[in-house]
Amino acid sequence: QAMARWWNQLPGEPTDMAQLKRYESRMQVEYTIVVTQLHGALQTPRRPLVHFPMGVAKPRIEVHSICTYRPDPTSNTGSECPLPGLSVPNHQAYADRHGYKYVLHTELPLPDREAHYSKMLVIHQAFLSADAPDWVFFIDCDAFFTDTSTSLPDILATYGAEGPSGPHFLVAEDPGGINTGTLLFRRSDWTLVFLER
């Protein structure tokens, strides 16, 4: 529906009815198929899980999520959304199992902007706090931890981010491209500059 609204509201007036194109759902299906095939062809092999080294101090990690659902006709969200009742206990149980602080945000800090801006602000504010963690993991309210035995330090070790010279930012990828439903940021000058942009 969002794609149809965008396509059908493109600026410009066609000179005749033959030039008028309406969005058709098959266009989205075809696009999704092509992107999925391209992703499969270019995807690097899945890395085997590397466990965080024993005897090494684990980084301090906070898990943040924004769960705010208001009635919204564009996404068919009703007045009562059961999702926070399902995902929040999942997030909390995962954080408890691994000793992470879990921070649930029930309001968008930037309600007049798209939700991803609020994600970045929440992460930025966590790093500016007096007791800032080494890493912040952000998980969308509609995402779940399904392998609770894998810790976030294991993910850091798997992608070479466990040491000070590793990446500052890890993000998920799916056939549609980058998926900001899960983000992992290291506390660093680079991260602060990135988040302030």
Token pair for residue 8? 């059908």
CA distance 51 to 48: 10
> Which pLDDT value is given to residue 7?
46
Phi and psi, residue 181, nearest 5°: -70, -25
Residue 15 above 70 pLDDT? no
The SS3 of residue 107 is coil
Work out the average pLDDT over 72-85: 68
The vertex-29 CA angle with 23 and 30, nearest 5°, equals 95
pTM: 0.75
Instruction: Give whichever of 44-53, 147-156, 171-180 has the largest mean pLDDT.
Output: 147-156
Indicate the pLDDT class of residue 27, thresholds 50, 70 and 90.
low
> Across the chain, which distance is largest between two alpha carbons, in Å?
72
CA distance 178 to 103: 24
Indicate the pLDDT class of residue 3, thresholds 50, 70 and 90.
very low
Pick the more confident residue, 70 or 54: 54
Work out the average pLDDT over 163-190: 87
Please report, rounded to a whole number, the percentage of residues in the chain having pLDDT higher than 90: 49
> Which pLDDT value is given to residue 75?
55
pLDDT tens by residue, 83-135: 888 999 999 999 999 999 999 999 999 988 888 889 999 999 999 999 999 99
CA distance 197 to 42: 30
Residue 137 above 80 pLDDT? yes
Pick the more confident residue, 3 or 196: 196
CA distance 28 to 130: 46
> Which pLDDT value is given to residue 70?
66
On average, the pLDDT of the chain sits at: 82
Residue 65 above 80 pLDDT? yes
